[in-house]
Structure 1
Amino acid sequence: MTTPSSTVESCTVETADGAKLHTRVFKPKDPKDNLVIVLVHPYSVLGGCQGLLRGIAVGLAERGYTAVTFDMRGAGRSTGRASLTGSAEIRDVIVVCKWAVDNLLADRILLVGSSAGAAISGSAVDLVEQVVGYVSLGYPFGWTASILFGRHQKAILQSPKPKLFVMGTNDGFTSVKQLENKLKSVSGRVETHLLEGVGHFQMEGPAYDAQMVNLILQFIESL
């Protein structure tokens, strides 16, 4: 009988304005170091929740890194109300990162955001001192998505912290050209990884979890 290489614990993290965020911590049996990976789920208004990131979180924990997922306000089992533009949710990301520093003894945090979660977490990168890098899985840079999430772009494009943008070449929200144009003005170190022929929601599916884990781990090694 094999012993599990990771365990999962649930807890509640409360924001200053009273939202109670349902949070899960995926702990490796033998942690590599004190870097904690905080994962931010897709758009709450369209049903996004932390469960969508479970496969990636399990994969990271099995490879020796503590991973944290949470339901942003109004999503899953969290209280509060989701905002249309993800502006209130920036506070959720910040409070979970600070909770990880205080309770998981994280001395470094990697923020990983999926879809709208990439936009929201990008706004939080420079607001948490311990965040040392950022990974975007399908950032919604396209024109239509920018109506909702355009206000988040400036923060991540101007951040000096290292960044990795992962996207499918058939992403329905952002074209490869739109991604390239946005990244022309980016500050600091930036990497991109394109998945040929893959769509936005396809990349969010479990079939790509292992690939996302590998890309995140490669990025951590480069930090």
Structure 2
Amino acid sequence: MPDSHQVESLFLEGPVGPLEAVLWSPGPGVSPPLAALVCHPHPLFGGTLHNKVVYQAAKVFDRFALPVLRFNFRGAGRSAGKHDKGIGEQGDVRAAIDFLAARFPGSPMVLAGFSFGCLVGLRVGCADERVAELVGIGAPVNGSDFSYLQSCPKPKLFLQGRNDPYGSPERLEQLAASWPGEKRVVVIEGEDHFFAGALVPMSAALAGWLAARHLELRDR
């Protein structure tokens, strides 16, 4: 991680109470070209901000000296409230965006989400003008509604395991063909929904996408 990396454990002001969060930042006095938000998988199945996929994605943003925020949805970890089937959780994502906008004013955001965090986070990110780019990891397209992306022209990256039972790459590519704007689907061969043996290629794909889109960033 960058030498100037700082860690801040905090609580966001969520719609139903405090939301536990961790912010990695490049240090005081830095005006970052981007700020990143990473949303975790389903809390009823053990998803938290400490999930390994979420953590690895956050490390990629940190390597580029970008501030990156992870938080626990309502009812997860030390966050207040209870699970709301992806409805109230959209307000949690907005609270996280509000925090980043206040802490790093003027910095556009890239919003990434894994599984449930992808489904909920990208819906909010599409509608919020402060979010410039979207990253979906393990998008559960087989049984979830991603139709909102049909009216979302923001640049989109999707990282999907070849054998994902919740989101087949074929289904994802079929849907992505109808989505406007720049989009890219990267299929990680030999992996399922959880990227157990593919955190390195997953991270490399995310880093490559960031570097190609933002020549001003330097991978450390």
CA distance in 1, matches of 2:147, 2:2: 45
Aligned to 2:168: 175
Q: Compute the TM-score of the two structures, normalised by the length of structure 1.
A: 0.85
Per the TM alignment, residue 7 of structure 1 is displaced from its structure 2 partner at its CA by 1.3
- What's 1:82 paired with? 83
> Match of 1:58?
59
- TM-score (norm. length: structure 2): 0.86
1:117 aligns with 2:110: no
Identity %: 25
Specify the SS of the correspondent of 2:190. strand
Q: Contact 1:28–1:63 (CA<8 Å) still a contact in 2?
A: no
1:7: which partner in 2? 6
Partner of 1:198, secondary structure, is coil
Q: Which secondary structure state, in structure 1, belongs to the residue aligned with residue 94 of structure 2?
A: helix
Long gaps (5+) in structure 2: none
Residue 127 (structure 1) shift: 2.8
**Partner of residue 45, structure 1:** 44
User: Which of these residues, 177, 180, 188, is aligned with residue 195 of structure 1?
Assistant: 188
State the AA in 2 paired with 1:65. L
CA distance in 2, matches of 1:40, 1:162: 18
Q: Distance in 1 between matches of 2:212 and 2:114?
A: 16
Cα offset, 1:107, TM superposition: 2.2
Cα distance between partner residues in 1 of 2:198 and 2:20: 22
Query: How many corresponding residue pairs?
Result: 213
Secondary structure at the aligned position of 1:179 is classed as: helix
* Residue pairs, 1:204-223, within 5 angstroms: 210-211=203-204, 213-215=206-208, 217-218=210-211, 220-221=213-214
Unaligned runs of 5+ residues in structure 1 are none
Distance of aligned partners of 1:105 and 1:205 in 2 relative to their CA distance in 1, 3 Å threshold? farther
- Tell me whether 1:98 sits opposite 2:98 in the alignment: yes
- The 3-state SS of whatever aligns with 2:82 is coil
The answer to which structure has the higher helix fraction is 1
Residue 163 of structure 1 corresponds to 156
